Structure 1
């Protein structure tokens, strides 16, 4: 159910370009120097707790990308950086209950120097590639809990959460989660695709077909936005060539043609 994976080394962009996002473009020698400077600064600094936490996060983010450049990246470094990020939020809310209710607000508090959204995307993709599904599930749940997600949609995180649960064979739990999500917003293509995949995994083919039929009537053709639904419909056709066969076959053709144009947006089979 994983989406098509994009290169997590140089070439990706997202959010605001900041100091951390540039670390991926630099050589290992420079990264090592920066890492040592930050570590030295951190050990000798007597600032407040929040300042120390941000410094620690900066060092850990450098180390995570440093390992990626050296091609010996250790998931432990990434995990520790995420723990520090969560600690920053939790510590802030002990003082101010409404501290950083949204991820972009937290990022903006440092003038987007850390490019947190990009780093989190890279972290979750890294967990997917390393098949660290249990950790990915924990991270997704933590992110959904940490922030309100009222201004920015958490669809990508929810999709990854559903994917991780299916990878861990939590079919019933994944199905219930996706059904609640789709019930909240049936116009979200990511929610529709996730629910179709979850019901395919649980052999609820007729229920999955109903979602496909709804989207076929609603959309009428392939677009960049609904590529994931078309991909899920194509997978369903392979295992359930029943009542909606003609429609799904049409979807499969459209999806294949769309992949040539929108390769990054095409969903992969389970």
Structure 2
């Protein structure tokens, strides 16, 4: 299995093969597979290329092979067109890899351009918070966090990512009160989510409970 490879070489070889296939396709049709999602369209979703790429990048991240992760992210960002507010996961991983490699100023500049282009993208601003934490530009990081955390006690699906970054920020700043408040909001959101999922599961059980059905309702 690929996942058992000690050095991740099989993942890298498969990634290079994918690049070669796309290059060959574009030699025949330069506009072929111009966006990543079109790769799966072209293959009738037979191979789930997007899903495999997510696994591949996650594997490099898990292995802490940040040089390879950064190269793969750059390759993908160059290979395909990315409409605004798309490719956020790849861009986030690129910023993370730059930070892990100590290229903090480069990460900050990349985030500045990304945020300028997509000011309402919580993923872009969250990446910026982490980048600014590394350069100890806490005021800049706090401004970004404030743009998505309007109520410090209310963590939601839309801003959970930013709440997590804000917790790291307050920890770095030594602001224990704000960190505790942020962590409490994250915990309460998690508890609400668990309760909602439990209610959903119970609703499913009720819906398919044969004991509550009349004979006329049965499908056989």
TM range (shorter): 0.7 to 0.9
Displacement after TM superposition at 1:256 (Å): 2.8
Tell me the equivalent position of 2:184.
Answer: 253
Alignment CA distance shift 1:168-1:151 (3 Å)? closer
Distance 2:150 2:10 in 1: 47
Between the two proteins, the alignment pairs up a number of residues equal to: 194
Look up the SS of the partner of 1:216 in the other structure.
coil
Q: CA RMSD in A?
A: 2.3
Alignment deviations for residues 103-159 of structure 1 (CA, whole Å, 9 cap, x no partner): 121111111111001100111111111111000000001101111122871000001
SS of alignment partner, residue 149 of structure 2: helix
144-153 or 223-232, which deviates more: 144-153
Structure 1 residues 1-270: aligned runs within 5 Å: 66-68=1-3, 71-72=4-5, 74-150=7-83, 153-217=86-150, 221-241=154-174, 249-260=180-191
Deviation of 1:258 (Å): 2.7
Answer 1 or 2: higher relative contact order, Cα 8 Å, separation at least 6.
Answer: 1
What is the distance in 2 between the residues matched to 1:257 and 1:218? 14
Normalised TM-score (structure 1): 0.66
Distance in 2, matches of 1:157 and 1:167, equals 15
CA displacement at 1:250 relative to structure 2: 3.0
- Identify unmatched segments of 5+ residues in structure 1: 1-65, 264-270
Q: How far apart in 2 are the matches of 1:213 and 1:150?
A: 26
Closer, same or farther: CA 220–147 of 1 in aligned 2, 3 Å? farther
Q: Matches of 2:25 and 2:81 in 1, distance apart?
A: 15
TM-score between the two structures when normalised by the length of structure 2: 0.80
1:214 CA displacement: 2.0
Residues 233 and 252 in structure 1, CA contact (< 8 A), matched pair in contact too: no
Closer, same or farther in 2 for the Cα pair 1:84/1:67, shift >3 Å? closer
Deviation by residue 1:211-232 (Cα, 9 ceiling, x = unmatched): 1222223897211121110001
Query: Which of 1 and 2 has greater Rg?
Result: 2
